[in-house]
């Protein structure tokens, strides 16, 4: 796989108040145990065994669909956005409590901004190579990709659901809609 210079240059922005670190088996088991004790009231997002019935506004991506809809990071040394409108890419895992908190928020925002942006999701446990290519070391991590210009990466969520939703709205306006 080609080393892509633009990945190193991605800017980090946003709050890192709550994030999961690592994706190893021991961390995953500890997080799963903690998640059972801490009810967040949200179902984990998984694309296993689910058909795309159109009910989800956020779209699951794998390596091939990422290269078609966001950027072909393997065959280019520059950032060449492939999408038709700006997007947010959510790098997540089912076992991550902050990821489960952000999932319904991103679904709401995907519906709210449906004519202006796309919201994509990448399961870091299923697509480790893709997560590694973009330097994802903690989750949730979000990649804000404008149609023109370089992407911006942020990780973690704010202290409450409403603050997290506002964080996303602010970042969408700042990085994607340029308001």
**How many C-beta neighbours within 10 Å does residue 82 have?**
14
Query: What are the residue numbers of the active site?
Result: 96, 99
Q: Residue 24 corresponds to which tokens in the numbers above?
A: 């190893």
Token pair listed for 31: 């997080």
Give yes or no for a contact between 150 and 79, defined as CB atoms under 8 angstroms apart.
yes
Q: Which residue do the tokens 């190893």 mark?
A: 24
Those residues whose C-beta lies under 8 Å from the C-beta of residue 112, and which sit 6 or more positions away, are none
Q: What is the dihedral of CA 146, 151, 156, 159, to 10 degrees?
A: -40
List Cβ<8 Å contacts ≥24 apart for 33-42: 34/97, 35/95, 35/97, 35/100, 38/97, 40/97, 40/100, 40/101, 42/100, 42/101, 42/103, 42/104
Return the CA Rg of the chain.
Answer: 15
């Amino acid at each position: 796989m080609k080393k892509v210079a633009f990945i190193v240059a991605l800017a980090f922005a946003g709050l890192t108040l709550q994030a999961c670190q690592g994706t190893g088996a021991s961390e995953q088991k500890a997080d799963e145990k903690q998640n059972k004790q801490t009810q967040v009231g949200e179902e984990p997002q998984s694309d296993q065994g689910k058909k795309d019935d159109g009910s989800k506004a956020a779209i699951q991506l794998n390596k091939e669909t990422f290269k078609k809809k966001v950027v072909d990071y393997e065959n280019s040394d520059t950032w060449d956005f492939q999408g038709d409108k700006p997007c947010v890419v959510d790098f997540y895992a089912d076992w991550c409590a902050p990821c489960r908190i952000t999932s319904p928020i991103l679904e709401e925002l995907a519906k709210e901004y449906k004519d202006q942006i796309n919201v994509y999701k990448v399961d870091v446990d299923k697509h480790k190579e893709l997560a590694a290519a973009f330097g994802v070391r903690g989750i949730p991590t979000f990649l804000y990709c404008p149609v023109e210009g370089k992407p911006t990466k942020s990780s973690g969520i704010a202290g409450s659901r409403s603050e997290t939703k506002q964080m996303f709205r602010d970042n969408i306006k700042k990085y994607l809609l340029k308001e």
